[in-house]
Structure 1
Amino acid sequence: MATKATGSHGDDDPNPGGKVSVGDGPLKPNDERVAAVARSLVDAGRFVPALEAGPNGGGLATWWPLPGVGDRNMIAALVLEDSMEGHAAAASALARATDLEVRRRLAAGGHALVPPRPGRRTVPHAWIEALGRPDPALPSGIDPERVAALANRIDEWIATGADRATRVRLAIRVHEPPTGARGNAATAWRLELLAQDSEETSLLISLADLWDDRSVFGPDGITELLGQLGRAVRLAPELAPVLDEAAPTELSVDTAAVLAIAERVEPLAEVGVAVLLPSWWTTRPKLGLRAKAASPPGVVTQSGFGLETLVSFRWEAALGTLKLTKADLKRLEAAAAAKSELVRIRGQWVQVDPDRVAALVAAVGTEGQADATELLRAHLGLSSLDAPDGIEVDGVTATGWLGELLDDALAGTVTPVEHPPGFQGTLRPYQQRGVGWLAFLGRLGLGACLADDMGLGKTAQLIATVLADPVPGPTLVIAPVSVLGNWQREIGRFAPELSVLLHHGGGRHDDSVSFAKRAAAVDVVLTTYSLVARDADHLAEVAWGRLALDEAQQVKNPRTKAAKAVAAIPATRRIALTGTPVENRLAELWSLMNVLNPGLLGTLTSFTKRFAGPIERDGDEETTALLRRITGPFVLRRLKSDRSIIDDLPDKIEQTELCTLTHEQATLYQAVVDELLEAVDELDKRLDRPNRPTKPGRRHQAGGTPGQATDADDAIARRGLVLAGITKLKQICNHPAHFLGDGSALGDRSGKLNRTEELLDEIIDVGDKVLCFTQYTAWGDLLAEHFARRYGIEPLWLHGGVQRKRRDEMLTAFEDLDGPPIFLLSLKAGGTGLNLTAASHVIHLDRWWNPAIEDQATDRAYRIGQRRAVDVHKLVSMGTIEERIDAMINDKRALAKAVVGTGEGWVTELSTEDLRGVISLRDREVG
């Protein structure tokens, strides 16, 4: 954007929020996007004060965006139409948003740019004063000619730093000294001056050709390059000698100058000057210390070494992957004494800091001790091992089992277990590797998370591991109540020799024999998460050989009693089985790792600051990669979509079924929207909450006065009101009778039910079976009765109130070829732990916020044993909040491998205006 856009700053602005009308139709850049770009520019300091001389002699003091080269794509996204009007609209909106953002921050900080001056003001004083006020207008009575003169001078000043859209830009290529140079203050570096095409950056032409008019840029290029040379010298005075030459082409500078220019790469780029450093510059290795450790001697025992094992180490100097010799250290000391800022070591340039070199040399050869957890954290950059201040710890080297662990080579080097003794069945190759991996980590006393995709046979791998890696003491399996029967069947099928104790139900305690004795007499004890905290005392009496958590995401909240009780269970082996180690937040991964390997990820507070915040808030790819490196040795993740893992699983075909609302649904929907927005708006007024976009997570804090306590109560009431309203809207999307609860007939009153019946007609007609998931038990009750009447077949209906015995009967009946073709399941009760491969269709009757939850439910049918393609139908009511949910899920699905969307809480924090945008019904989507 090369021109300033003016606009009204008063209350009567006809285009609030940066919406600009041009020509016959308004062009309206997205307000939130414009505001986000403005915030980004202000955060980066890319804005300047400006003065606009008015046609009638007045003046406006404005804050003007001054984007750099790197901001072009971000700003281009604001342009909705590639025309002069479209660009002008985007420029005007961004100018207004930037001005408002700067003034808002000045007001919030209570900053006064100049002290108040009574009486007559000079034009500069009045200008600066107006920059800090809500009203940008200069006071009346100021000489208009002086205003115009100052405005012209300010425009010229802004132009010197603006990134203008030109074809040519100055590029400075840095050439290192000859190979023989060892690095000292006088070492000469050559700076080559080039002309670079702004669009085709690979096109570089020597300035000698430009001065001789032998380039494609022509005379205009010469003029532009001269201006850029001047701007470059103002930012980097080390380049000043080029101005002494009529036609400069290169420059020789010392090491200090090169370092100074390298530190100003970004500011130079902002004014259109590119600095081309040697390829190694940004990746050059740094001096640091490396801990050289050895695994404790001896053979790994049944109890394993574990991460708490104390290990001795010795410090050695390192330059990246290279160990430095005594000769290298002497050269470093000599360079520091000579005050050289760069020195060549082993053919690589190293920056020299005398204090750090002295501390490094003093530390080399000294010894220390740390447990294996701390060494692993140091290897991954999470611990300094008490190294001298200012000295980086560049990893840990070790031999033996610790070396294998640090090298992240466990999954690739462990020996597969093909035929565990007593295992009745055939393990697939990836399962053999999984069993070997679990057994290997177990023997080291390290916890392991088997995070295979749903349906890849985690249960079979755990049973095989119990046989392949026998330990003193029984194995405790903690699982949801819904899969206890499945565990009993699978153990009886794969390992009939293993004895099993089911610790569940009202009669689980036998007064005649202690639980500890009964548990010690069997190989496997099965219990549920709900009983762990309740029976913690009994479980603590047993010397468990192995603790296994099925559907381990059940301990994702570290503050729950169940999670704390599970973490306290003593066991020499710890294994977690889950297809979704992270469902909503990275804190869930911390909780899981805290059970498996306590201390690995530090405290929850430090983990949130170091990992969860940057990844969830900023999408930081580097931090994400680091977290994967840390947890990688302890998490084995395989996907069904990876044909190298399993090549005989059929396809999964997912599609969104868009359904229109009936007139009755639309009427009810709109009534609830109006009622909800009116109620929320009333609460906002009581809270004195501005009706403007708000950031998720905002809270109204209760203070010490009665009025503040009332505000806190109202804020809680508001959140509850919004959640209740969302539930009503989703119920209406299902069916009016679901919302009204009046027991009325269902036929032909819901677009979603109509589409469901069309799908079921076809599925049943061809003899297939289907799983239908809903998050609402009341809706499932209505559908079960409706489908029974329509199809003359009683569908199966599994929800949280079904007893375990009846649940097992349902599973058996559905898997029978002659069993009912329709299986209705609640998302919570039927979303995990079930094997229902008789179904080749899945229908999600209503949408949940988290793609991982939906995928878990789908994988009841799409798993090992499935021989047919699985069709997944996700029903969405168009124009409603469901469509917004669907868009959110699709946007986050790629990220869901590491971090997935949160629950409905974020909606409760939206302003009334933002809430309206999420829940409002679009009439064109009503049938």
Structure 2
Amino acid sequence: MLLEIIITPAGQLRVVDADESVPEIPVAAGERLVAAFEESTAGGLIELASPGLGETLPASLVFWRGFSRWFFQAVCQLGENGFAQWSTLPAPAVGELEERVAAAPPMRGLEYLDVRLLTELWGALRDQVVTRAQAHRQGPASYLETVNPLWHLLGRVTFHLAENKRDAARPFAFLATYTHKISGQAKLQHLPMAEALKMYAGTKDLAKLESLLEPVKRAADRSPLVRGLLSSKALFAPQAWTIPEAYRFLKEVPLMEEAGLVVRVPDWWRSRRAARPQVQVRLGSRPAATIGQEGLLDFDVQLALDDETLDPSEMQELLAASDGLALLRGRWIEVDRAQLKQALTHWKKLEQEHTGGIDFITGMRLLAGAPIGGDDAVSSSLSDWSRITAGDWLTRTLEQLRRPETIESFQPGRDLQATLRHYQVDGVRWLWFMTRLGLGACLADDMGLGKTIQIIDLLLQRQRDRSADAKTTGQNAINLLIVPASLLGNWKQELARFGPSLKVRYAHRSETDDDSLRRLAADPVRELQGVDLVVSSYSLVRRQEWLTKVAWGLVILDEAQAIKNSGSAQTKAVKKLPAQGRIVLTGTPVENHLGDLWSLFDFCNPGLLGTAAQFKGFVKELNRRQDADAYGGLRRLVRPYILRRMKTDPTIVPDLPEKTEMRAECGLSKKQAVLYGKAVAELEQRLQQADGMARRGLVLSTLMQLKQICNHPAQYLQADAFPPAESSKFARLELLCEPIAQRQEKVLVFTQFQSITEPLAEFLATVFRRPGLVLHGGTAVKKRQELVREFQADGGPPFFVISLKAGGSGLNLTAASHVVHFDRWWNPAVENQATDRAFRIGQKRNVMVHKFVCRGTVEERIDEMIRDKQATADKILNQDNETLLTEMSDKELLKFVALDISRATADD
């Protein structure tokens, strides 16, 4: 089975079919895992800790298996305190949990993973384990063995290594014990292994002795040292060990623990190694000589112990010492002369080759521990004996990127015709700081948090800088904004509203006539004199070669998931745009899919993640390691370049409006435009012969037909198939719902036509990869509440397609955070009533309302009247007076329904 684990917005873990090729899990084991998670998240984590799934798992399963086994290892380490302490086992320290979060691999719902969730899951796991252990017939210790045979307490063998400061020649002592029984104080009692020989030999209970020695024998198969202890019977007596003997034991501890032995070692080896002298490489102590990804970071190389530089005599002493353990400054440290010399030689050579510093990209990879494109074996060896740290300047810079509220040198909002919310202020500060540094930025805020207004304020600041210090900052270049054609109208409206001082040109047929576009292409330098911003669409970048000839200041991509397919012609064209700085905007969690992440970063920070082949090889190596912390380096590498805030953040929730309405513009496909034009022409012809009631009926039926054509040609033609490519509204719906699906949010889709509800549901099922629900006039009354309960449930269907009249009242659908009006009702009050199905008492989400409008059609005229002339709209479009539309003159009516072919068919 191909499975992966996702995190739901409610903080539950679910096992779902994997979206891409991942390691396969045996069917029986996979079915057990699915069933366990369906019962509860804690039950699923317990099942995940068992060995039955195999050792090669998808990355998301590896991460959660590591978390579950982390918990069980903590339980097993409570041996001295016994079962009474299980129910109060605290979650690990916040710092440790933060490290787990930072090392998580890509998975759906990764944005919902935080310290709070891990703490809650630890508690749920603890409660479930305690309940099951109490109910187990043979007691808690036996229960642990049912989860994993390696986990047991009673009868478990423990190896102890301790310092023996009274013997300089043999400064370590070894002892093997076993847990004999639980005392009256609920503590495990240890006895030397020699006592086990006496006890079981005396009772002739060889079976128990064999059982006790089973983990020792497994360890002997793995560890030569244990094999020697067992064959020589030294295991059954205390041993005094030399430094090399103790070091050999310490290096083989992981092999012993894998076999089921408990190993107790001195505190200084708790992390499976002693302190080490390391080659300390410090990057960026001084400001970079130049900014950007090509900027050079100074670095120096020293030999240090715990950040304290070693003096020359100490260095000589270490490099001359024997391998293993050595006493330095009164403490035991680990020494490997060959590895230490190799690391020192490597970094000193690099220092000599790059006397001016190393480039920013290489420095960030080193700092993150993500050797993309490098020799993994060499890099791993070096990382063990090297420590890369940020110098003073780089530390301050990275801290400002992590906490933009600390950037005090810039005050946003001075020229903006609006008041920024506090998180938007931080966002503009971050964007400004990133672009001043010459670094690419990814603003990945949730939909509805105002990415548009943050960009407008940044552009206003650049306009101010352009006049103030253009010569020194190089910010005299024009900025370019690339958006899906369906969002051009939204951007035009927001730019005019919030940044009216910006001089903007629209390189698109929907907003600019053909003659002006031809002049712009012929001589962009002259045409763009004094312009602050050019706005165009993704499809035009591919065809308008002049866009690649201009040296842009910033190139900004809205809905940047449009370039996630790195091999498409559109993506390749966009990546050719020359720019001083690059910004990508997306509402989709970018770290959830590695292919998308690489393509976005290949645009905004080219080279940081290597070539596509290098990145693929790097990820393959991460997966091969089957390590729960494997992705930590990659996450650390990209984190400074991504700013993502979520609507669920407690610091943001109070600032959110209860409801946000926006117009979603759509064009017409060629087939739609042809049918629309024919319908208008037929209306014009028939109006000449119609009058009275016949004319009234003709007008109403034509208006209905035009709305059907705007929805999909198949609806108007009453065809069975609804090819998505034939409707721009279907394309717009897909663009809107992809990030909603990624965030596992829910959406209501309203239409006034029952005939299109099923085709919409079938199409949305391909977007969400899950079926949804449909409600229309033909739905039985009894079934309506069942559908509502199903939609409202956590993990329930992600979308609900509803005919407007059937769903206009009586339904409470607060699980939805998005409402789509696929076609416009003549009366806005009816739309608002439908919207209120999601925005009801009990709604805890900010509801986004998207009203679809086809440019250059009757839908746009209706929308304009509703928005700009509400009084007239109420009079003309009131539900009771809808037929007043028929009383327009022929000339007025034909103008009202006419097709603006340039606006309607401008490339999406």
Task: Give the TM-score taking structure 2 as reference length.
Answer: 0.53
Residues 881-892 of structure 1 mapped to structure 2, 5 A cutoff: none
Seq. identity, %: 28
Opposite residue 292 of structure 1, the aligned amino acid is R
Match of 1:228 in 2: 212
* Other structure's SS at 1:391 match: helix
Call closer, same or farther: CA 1:491–1:377 in 2, change over 3 Å.
Answer: same
Residues 808-887 of structure 1 mapped to structure 2, 5 A cutoff: 810=863, 813=866
Q: Contact 2:292–2:360 (CA<8 Å) still a contact in 1?
A: yes
List per-residue Cα deviations over 1:7-34 (Å, max 9, x = no partner): xxxxxxxxx9989xxxxxxxxx99xx99
Q: Contact 1:316–1:323 (CA<8 Å) still a contact in 2?
A: yes
Deviation at 1:489, TM superposition (A): 1.9
Unaligned ranges ≥5, structure 2 = 1-25, 30-38, 58-67, 74-147, 466-474, 660-761, 789-800, 837-848, 875-908
Match of 1:588 in 2: 596
Deviation at 1:595, TM superposition (A): 1.0
What is the distance in 2 between the residues matched to 1:595 and 1:445? 14
What is the distance in 1 between the residues matched to 2:155 and 2:247? 26
Aligned residue among 280, 286, 290 for 1:290: 280
Q: Contact 1:582–1:588 (CA<8 Å) still a contact in 2?
A: yes
Q: Which moved more, 1:354-363 or 1:497-506?
A: 354-363
What is the distance in 1 between the residues matched to 2:242 and 2:618? 39
What is the distance in 2 between the residues matched to 1:578 and 1:426? 23
Match of 2:249 in 1: 261
Aligned residue among 250, 261, 279 for 2:238: 250
What is the distance in 2 between the residues matched to 1:768 and 1:170? 58
* Other structure's SS at 1:511 match: helix
* Other structure's SS at 1:498 match: coil
Q: Contact 1:787–1:793 (CA<8 Å) still a contact in 2?
A: no
What is the distance in 2 between the residues matched to 1:583 and 1:609? 18
Deviation at 1:799, TM superposition (A): 5.7
Call closer, same or farther: CA 1:188–1:812 in 2, change over 3 Å.
Answer: farther
What is the distance in 2 between the residues matched to 1:503 and 1:592? 23
Deviation at 1:437, TM superposition (A): 1.3
Match of 2:431 in 1: 438
List per-residue Cα deviations over 1:656-691 (Å, max 9, x = no partner): xxxxxxxxxxxxxxxxxxxxxxxxxxxxxxxxxxxx
Match of 1:411 in 2: 403
* Other structure's SS at 1:622 match: coil
Deviation at 1:770, TM superposition (A): 13
Call closer, same or farther: CA 1:729–1:252 in 2, change over 3 Å.
Answer: closer
Deviation at 1:442, TM superposition (A): 0.9
What is the distance in 2 between the residues matched to 1:789 and 1:294? 61
List per-residue Cα deviations over 1:688-713 (Å, max 9, x = no partner): xxxxxxxxxxxxxxxxxxxxxxxxxx
Call closer, same or farther: CA 1:324–1:605 in 2, change over 3 Å.
Answer: farther
Aligned residue among 417, 437, 457 for 1:424: 417
Deviation at 1:311, TM superposition (A): 4.1
Match of 2:82 in 1: none
Match of 1:205 in 2: 189
Q: Does 1:391 align with 2:369?
A: no
Call closer, same or farther: CA 1:418–1:476 in 2, change over 3 Å.
Answer: same
Match of 2:314 in 1: 328
Aligned residue among 292, 295, 305 for 1:306: 292
Opposite residue 633 of structure 1, the aligned amino acid is P
Q: Contact 1:317–1:360 (CA<8 Å) still a contact in 2?
A: no
What is the distance in 2 between the residues matched to 1:515 and 1:455? 34
Aligned residue among 141, 161, 167 for 1:174: 161
Residues 103-502 of structure 1 mapped to structure 2, 5 A cutoff: 167-178=154-165, 186-191=170-175, 193-195=177-179, 203-207=187-191, 211=195, 224=208, 228-229=212-213, 232=216, 234-235=220-221, 238=225, 248=236, 250-269=238-257, 272-281=260-269, 282=271, 284=273, 285-294=275-284, 305-319=291-305, 321-336=307-322, 340-346=323-329, 349-362=332-345, 366=349, 367=351, 368-369=353-354, 370-383=358-371, 390-392=381-383, 394-397=386-389, 399=391, 401-405=393-397, 410-412=402-404, 413-415=406-408, 417-469=410-462, 470=465, 471-502=475-506
What is the distance in 2 between the residues matched to 1:448 and 1:396? 24
* Other structure's SS at 2:431 match: helix
Call closer, same or farther: CA 1:196–1:577 in 2, change over 3 Å.
Answer: farther
Opposite residue 266 of structure 2, the aligned amino acid is P
Q: Contact 1:207–1:249 (CA<8 Å) still a contact in 2?
A: no
What is the distance in 2 between the residues matched to 1:543 and 1:594? 19
Match of 2:751 in 1: none
Unaligned ranges ≥5, structure 1 = 1-15, 20-28, 45-68, 75-160, 653-722, 738-744, 821-927
* Other structure's SS at 2:159 match: strand
Q: Contact 2:519–2:527 (CA<8 Å) still a contact in 1?
A: no
List per-residue Cα deviations over 1:102-151 (Å, max 9, x = no partner): xxxxxxxxxxxxxxxxxxxxxxxxxxxxxxxxxxxxxxxxxxxxxxxxxx
What is the distance in 2 between the residues matched to 1:611 and 1:466? 37
List per-residue Cα deviations over 1:507-560 (Å, max 9, x = no partner): 25133862332234311111111111111x211232211111112222111112
Cα RMSD over matched residues?
5.8
Q: Contact 1:173–1:194 (CA<8 Å) still a contact in 2?
A: no
Deviation at 1:415, TM superposition (A): 2.3
Call closer, same or farther: CA 1:726–1:797 in 2, change over 3 Å.
Answer: closer
Deviation at 1:499, TM superposition (A): 0.9
What is the distance in 2 between the residues matched to 1:629 and 1:603? 19
Q: Contact 1:787–1:794 (CA<8 Å) still a contact in 2?
A: no
Deviation at 1:197, TM superposition (A): 6.7
Q: Does 1:528 align with 2:532?
A: no
**Number of positions where the alignment pairs a residue of Structure 1 with one of Structure 2:** 590
Larger RCO, structures 1/2 (Cα 8 Å, 6+ apart) = 2
Opposite residue 282 of structure 2, the aligned amino acid is K
Call closer, same or farther: CA 1:396–1:769 in 2, change over 3 Å.
Answer: closer
Deviation at 1:620, TM superposition (A): 5.6
Aligned residue among 630, 635, 642 for 1:635: 642
What is the distance in 2 between the residues matched to 1:353 and 1:364? 17
Deviation at 1:351, TM superposition (A): 3.0
What is the distance in 2 between the residues matched to 1:180 and 1:423? 76
Aligned residue among 566, 569, 582 for 2:574: 566
What is the distance in 1 between the residues matched to 2:616 and 2:185? 40
Opposite residue 319 of structure 2, the aligned amino acid is E
What is the distance in 2 between the residues matched to 1:359 and 1:290? 13
Opposite residue 431 of structure 1, the aligned amino acid is Q
Residues 504-543 of structure 1 mapped to structure 2, 5 A cutoff: 504-505=508-509, 507=514, 509-511=517-519, 514-535=523-544, 537-543=545-551
Task: Give the TM-score taking structure 1 as reference length.
Answer: 0.52
What is the distance in 1 between the residues matched to 2:172 and 2:835? 88
Opposite residue 863 of structure 2, the aligned amino acid is M
Between Structure 1 and Structure 2, the one with more helix by share is 2
List per-residue Cα deviations over 1:793-836 (Å, max 9, x = no partner): 9999966965599559638837998989xxxxxxxxxxxxxxxx
Match of 2:795 in 1: none
Opposite residue 557 of structure 2, the aligned amino acid is L
Opposite residue 648 of structure 1, the aligned amino acid is D
Match of 1:503 in 2: 507
Aligned residue among 637, 644, 647 for 2:651: 644
* Other structure's SS at 2:403 match: helix
Deviation at 1:630, TM superposition (A): 0.9
Opposite residue 528 of structure 1, the aligned amino acid is S
Q: Contact 1:170–1:195 (CA<8 Å) still a contact in 2?
A: yes
Call closer, same or farther: CA 1:404–1:584 in 2, change over 3 Å.
Answer: closer
Call closer, same or farther: CA 1:585–1:786 in 2, change over 3 Å.
Answer: farther
Deviation at 1:253, TM superposition (A): 2.2
Deviation at 1:245, TM superposition (A): 8.2
